[in-house]
């Protein structure tokens, strides 16, 4: 069938309006399970410090004579620990023209960009805290300060690969892990770490890991075969809660943690210390544009690394 002569079509017309939706779609992940679950505490100095306390070892020979004079027992001093506050920021800049024109999906371009930068900053913080192998850096006039990540604190209760793999030389955030030979994640490794934490006195409640090893964990005991609930027409092939010999732990997939690590954490033994809460600061106008800085200053507080642990050097594919 041919188009009738002189028929006006969209192909030849001039002046047709655009059809642009007022919704902006974004699927980039913004969930930060480690950062969001941390208790917030106030920091008042660049070097944020706290103390840990250990009890004397339990003794089976604590028997004294009847009527004997009391003997003073040795005191166990506290241990003073600290982490460095790191400054992280994102800066949004928008021209005066872009602010003025009619836009789809947002009324104010600068406000929209500030929201995006805030979300990006949270992702950076999550990656710093659990997705990086970072020791604390005091910094100077030419070196940015850095806060020690989770990996630089976990030394005692670990299961690691062979080769050069090694725990941090110290459990005070001053050293990093040495990655070892990668191997498949097994339930035996997880059980070994849980027992070490229990012996050390910890009470972990969370297992945090990447997507690949989350799927591996879903094949552990009780989930070797998917189970089908015929009434609800649902197939269950996942582990979201792990009931161990030493307590029940929530299993959390984290997109920003290192895929080769499985962290076993006691949540109340970690906190985020903030010297400056996240805020937006208008910057000086130097031309035909507006700039706002989204900034925060924070440190990770590891209240006692004996409470937590990890399985390291795991395969990721």
Question: pLDDT tens across 236-292, in order?
Answer: 667 899 999 999 999 999 999 999 999 999 999 999 999 999 999 999 999 999 999
Taking Cα atoms as reference points, which of 130, 170, 137, 127 lies closest to residue 151?
130
Question: pLDDT tens across 192-217, in order?
Answer: 999 999 999 999 999 999 999 999 99
Q: pLDDT at residue 315 above 90?
A: yes
Taking Cα atoms as reference points, which of 188, 143, 181 lies closest to residue 163?
181
DSSP 171-217: SSSSS--B----B---HHHHHHHHHHHHHHT----EEEE-HHHHHHH
Question: pLDDT tens across 13-22, in order?
Answer: 888 888 888 8
DSSP 100-134: HS--SS-S-HHHHHHHHHHHHHHHHHHHHHHS---
**Tokens representing residue 232 in the block:** 């609800």
Q: Where are the domains of the chain?
A: 33-49+79-311
What local confidence, expressed as pLDDT, does residue 24 receive? 81
Alpha carbon distance 253, 246 (integer Å)? 21
* Confidence at 225, pLDDT banded by 50, 70, 90: low
């Amino acid at each position: 069938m041919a188009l009738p002569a002189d028929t006006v079509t969209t192909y030849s017309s001039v002046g047709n309006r655009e059809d642009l939706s007022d919704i902006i779609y974004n699927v980039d992940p913004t969930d930060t399970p480690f950062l969001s679950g941390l208790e917030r505490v106030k920091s008042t100095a660049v070097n944020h410090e706290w103390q840990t306390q250990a009890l004397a070892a339990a003794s089976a020979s604590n028997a004294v004579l009847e009527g004997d004079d009391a003997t003073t027992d040795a005191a166990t001093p506290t241990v003073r620990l600290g982490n460095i506050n790191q400054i992280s920021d994102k800066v949004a800049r928008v021209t005066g023209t872009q602010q003025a024109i009619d836009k789809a999906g947002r009324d104010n371009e600068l406000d929209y960009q500030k929201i995006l930068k805030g979300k990006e900053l949270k992702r950076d913080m999550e990656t710093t805290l659990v997705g990086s192998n970072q020791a604390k850096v005091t910094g100077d006039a030419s070196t940015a300060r850095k806060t020690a990540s989770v990996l630089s604190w976990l030394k005692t209760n670990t299961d690691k690969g062979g080769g050069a793999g090694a725990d941090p030389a110290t459990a005070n955030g001053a050293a990093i892990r040495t990655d070892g030979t990668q191997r498949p994640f097994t339930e035996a490794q997880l059980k070994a770490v849980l027992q070490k934490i229990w012996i050390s006195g910890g009470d972990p409640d969370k297992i945090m890991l990447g997507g690949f090893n989350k799927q591996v964990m879903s094949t552990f005991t009780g989930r070797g075969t998917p189970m089908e609930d015929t009434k609800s027409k649902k197939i269950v092939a996942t582990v979201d809660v792990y009931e161990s010999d030493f307590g029940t732990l929530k299993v959390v997939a984290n997109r920003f943690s290192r895929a080769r690590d499985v962290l076993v954490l006691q949540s109340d033994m970690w906190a985020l210390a903030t010297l400056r809460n996240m805020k937006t600061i208008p910057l000086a106008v130097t031309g035909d544009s507006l700039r706002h800085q989204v900034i925060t200053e924070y440190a990770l507080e590891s209240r006692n690394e004996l409470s937590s642990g990890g399985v390291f050097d795991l395969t990721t594919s």
